[in-house]
Amino acid sequence: MSEDNPKSVPAAAVLEASKEMLQRQLYAIFTTPTDGLGPVFAVIEEHLAFQVQLEKDGILHAAGPMWTDDGESWEGEGLVVVKATSRQEAIGIAERDPMHKAGARTFRVRPWLVNEGSVTITLNNSSQTFTYS
């Protein structure tokens, strides 16, 4: 492997290079069906209630289904991004999800460093509505 074109670098090097950026450590939980959609739909209500509770508890950053590459259908995959103090804590969160407890899905957890991006929320008091972009 050439030093001019490494396959990986230590996390510390990335942190140093982006030290002026946000550097918000989150954890991405990639979730995949184990045996078709039947088992997924069997626990979908419990799963969604679990997600809403994570949101209320301030743990859930974002979550939702992942469409097929053409955007036309869903094969049961999802992405859940959580706030946790470690990868092990994020794994514990994923293990508590009814989808995973029931064996309807398996999961993989990857640390995700958020450095760039923006969120705009407009709250209209008079109509009690908001827009998110």
Q: How confident is the model at residue 1 (pLDDT cuts 50, 70, 90)?
A: very low
> pLDDT confidence of 4, banded at 50, 70, 90?
confident
Determine if residue 10 is left, alpha or beta; phi over 0 gives left, psi from -120 to 50 gives alpha, anything else beta: beta
Q: What percent of the chain has pLDDT over 90?
A: 91
Phi, psi dihedrals of residue 113, rounded to the nearest 5°: -90, 115
Q: What is the pLDDT of residues 59-81, one digit of tens each?
A: 999 999 999 999 999 999 999 99
Distance CA 65, CA 112 (A): 18
Q: What is the pLDDT of residues 26-51, one digit of tens each?
A: 999 999 999 999 999 999 999 999 99
Q: How far apart are CA 3 and CA 5, in angstroms?
A: 5
pLDDT for position 2: 53
What domains, with CATH codes, occur in the chain? 23-132 (3.30.70.1060)
What beta strand segments (E) does 1-114 contain? Answer: 24-33, 60-67, 74-82, 105-114
